[in-house]
Structure 1
Amino acid sequence: MTKQQRINAFVKLGELLKVQPEDLTQIIQLAQHKNPWYTRQNVERALHAISSNLTAEKLNHWLHNYPDIESTKTVGLILAGNIPLVGFHDILCVLISGFKAKIKLSSDDAGLTTYVLNRLKQLEPDFAAAFEIVDKLKDFDLVIATGSNNTARYFDYYFGSKPHIIRRNRNSVAVITGQESPAQLEALGHDIFDYFGLGCRSVSKLFIPKEYAVAHFFEGIAAYKDVSEHFKYNNNYDYNKSIYLINGDKHFDNGFLLLKQDPRLASPLSVVYYEEYGSLEDVEQELKQQAEQIQCVVSEVPLNIQSPVFHFGESQCPALDDYADGINTLDFLFANP
């Protein structure tokens, strides 16, 4: 296939996902039974984010500086499953670049990625020879593996001799100045609650100015109270609340989110950590020091930092060139043709 053929196929895939045919609706219904975190709303949110990027204009612009090749090399992909279709961007990068893929799905995938790949084959039969879903990776030339800090150690051991991208735990943070409007704080709620906060782009920590009125933040996110109706989320909320009460840990509680002062980035589900700051320069210095643990930052003020910065409400809708961990996947692939 030529690069243009591959682009055309993914454009058709985007159009199909946007329409959501009946068989996809059935897959979505099954997915939420297989994995309760994959609610219909969250799966449709992921499909919308994917399909909005699969346009001819966006794909051609993204790829215009890269050559048209058909590589004989195979990329082993180990995908995460913390949120629906979280590994799609890696699959897209590999296949649209002209490489072959061997794909190890997460046990949490619930059939979504398999459905999307089968549809891609139907739209462009030449893709049938370009990828394979496998239970165990072998016979590959490059590897892209996504996991936790623990699994990354195993990935380093097993795959370190191959050209690789190995992703570890990262978290995202928000910077609040106290000047935000209610609408901006409500938008920030998407960065916190979309996908129940399970994504690496989910905000798990706030930087707030000293003497900030937390009630203002809670008022802004009040529209997300229905998150507590999800039994797994609410179980986490009840558990963490009880631990804080038993231990006498100071925290704020609005009935569906716990806010706790803590220097760490990674907070438990249903909890967002916070730190107070004296100046934005102090925040910038802190973010620079922890850049290797940060996926992205959401802020309505400019920040002089290395990490990518998004407006409130936009962290979960990355563009094609918003690469995970700041590692350009296309550059990696084309450096190993």
Structure 2
Amino acid sequence: MEQVLTLQRRIELMEDMGRYMLSDEPAWQEAMQMAGHRNAWFTAEHIAHAVESIARQYLAPGKLPAWVGQYKLPAEACTVGIVMAGNIPLVGFHDMLCGFMSGHRLMLKLSTKDEVLMRHLLHRMVTQESLVAECITVAERLNGCDAYIATGSNNTARYFEQYFGKYPHIIRQNRTSVAILDGSETDKELVALADDVYLYYGLGCRNVTQVCVPHGYDFERLLRIFARYDHYADLNKYKNNYDYHLALYLLNRVPYMSTPALLMVENELPFSAVSVLHYRHYTDREQLVQELQGSTDIQAIIGHGLIPFGSAQVPTLTDYADGVDTMAFLCSL
């Protein structure tokens, strides 16, 4: 008779993982160091932030039962293929968690940019419970799955649609986040906004890449506070982006504001390059909020009465990518 992991056992394993991720276990510390060596964008600071966010927001005792209790879990297990992104540390963890907690069998296609941490955590799960090996496998090709979840760029999304379109699927494309400022923000709030902008070097879909400001907004205080991240100029990959875009703006005579690690330019597009922050002006805040909430490009909106400053990169279990309830999708299979 086939053995299956009970929901309670799955919860126990994930809560144990949360404790492990916050521990000083030598093997885990070594894995985090190795992840940084493999990908220069994954600094120790950013890995630590991602790990703590997952452990405290997803895996803290009591959070998983409350979350899973909102769904009717499927009676039978399907095989779900998950193509993971690699732009920030452990970015695919939430998809894996949803699949595991819903009781499905998972085939994971890890990103080469972010495989060290995921492989280590999956290996530890198997050492804690051998049945995990029957629930989760890592594969190069995701053949024979009943459903798919794939995260990538707008270009790769077209290929994913071609390959997976005839199966139940979630296919994610490029998204980014914006902040709405009104000029009344405190220094503490702007310090928190700096985290929303700079964490992970701006590579995440929850990074703020555009700020919307009223006409006449004074940027001087904002740039002064953002200077706390000037040390980013010390990373060659980041500085190369900065120098490249600075040269473009100078050659094309594009007006800009700057710190040693950030270029600010006026641009209606929410997407900006690494080391660049766009800004746009608005007159009607309510109309702006409605516009942004209706955009398929926007993942999160930061500001007064919206997502609090500093919270963009600390998502909760129900902050689903692209606003699509991954757990509900998995439970419908």
Normalising TM by the smaller chain, what interval?
Answer: over 0.9
Give matches, 1:124-139, under 5 Å: 124-139=129-144
Q: 1:137-181, CA deviations, whole angstroms, 9 ceiling, x for partnerless residues?
A: 101101000000000001111100000000000010001110111
Pairing of 1:208-287 with structure 2 (within 5 A)? 208-287=213-292
| 1:115 alignment partner in structure 2 | 120
1:40 maps to 2:38: no
Residue 9 of structure 1, aligned match among 13, 18, 24: 13
The counterpart of 1:77, out of the listed 78, 82, 90, is 82
Query: Does the aligned pair in 1 maintain the 2:302–2:312 contact within 8 Å?
Result: yes
Change in Cα spacing, 1:236 to 1:217, as seen in structure 2 (3 Å) is same
CA contact (8 A) 2:74 2:332 kept: no
What pairs up with 1:86-165 in 2 under 5 angstroms?
A: 86-165=91-170
SS in structure 2 at match of 1:253 = strand
Q: Mind listing any 5+ residue stretches in structure 2 that lack a counterpart?
A: none
Which amino acid is the alignment partner of residue 47 of structure 1?
Answer: V
- Equivalent residue for 2:309? 312
Identical counterparts, % of pairs: 38
Runs of 4+ in 1 over 4 A off after TM superposition: none
Q: Cα deviation per residue 1:176-206 (whole Å; 9 max; x = unaligned)?
A: 1101111110000110011000000000000
| 1:54 counterpart = 2:59 | yes
Tell me how far apart the structure 2 counterparts of residues 5 and 288 of structure 1 sit (CA, whole Å).
38
Structure 1, residues 29-56: CA drift from partner, whole Å, max 9, x if none?
1211211001111111111011112023
Q: Secondary structure at the match of 1:286?
A: helix
Native 8 Å contact 1:34 1:110 kept in 2? no
- Partner Cα separation in structure 2 for residue 244 and residue 213 of structure 1: 22
Structure 1 CA distance for aligned equivalents of residues 18 and 225 of structure 2: 33
Instruction: Kindly provide the CA deviation profile for residues 57-87 of structure 1, in whole angstroms up to 9, marking residues without a partner as x.
Output: 1101101132455633110000000001000
5+ unaligned residues in a row in structure 1: which ranges?
303-308
SS of 1:265 mapped into structure 2: coil
Q: Which whole-Å CA distance do the structure 2 matches of 1:184 and 1:124 have between them?
A: 44
Cα distance in 2 between the residues matched to 1:191 and 1:61:
27
| Whole-angstrom CA distance in 1 between matches of 2:288 and 2:72 | 41
Alignment partner of 2:22: what SS?
helix
Q: Distance in 2 between matches of 1:248 and 1:77?
A: 44
Structure 1 residue matching 2:197: 3-state secondary structure: helix
Matched AA of 1:325: D
Of 51-60 and 201-210, the range deviating more from structure 2: 51-60
SS in 2 for 1:221: helix
Aligned to 2:23: 19
Structure 2: distance between partners of 1:69 and 1:160: 22
CA displacement 1:309-333 (0-9 Å, x = unmatched): 4100000010001100010011101
Q: Are 1:324 and 2:321 counterparts?
A: yes
Shift of 1:24: 1.3
Shift of 1:281: 2.4
Secondary structure of the 1:98 match is: coil
For 1:204 and 1:55, the matched residues in 2 are separated by 30
Q: CA RMSD in A?
A: 1.2
Residues of 2 paired with 1:89 and 1:78: CA distance? 12
2:73·2:331 contact (CA, 8 Å) conserved in 1? no
Alignment: residue pair count: 328
Task: Answer whether contact 1:71 1:100 (CA < 8 A) is retained.
Answer: no
Tell me the residue number matched to 2:192: 187
Q: Is the 8 A contact 2:268 2:279 kept in 1?
A: yes
8 Å CA contact retained: 1:172, 1:295: yes
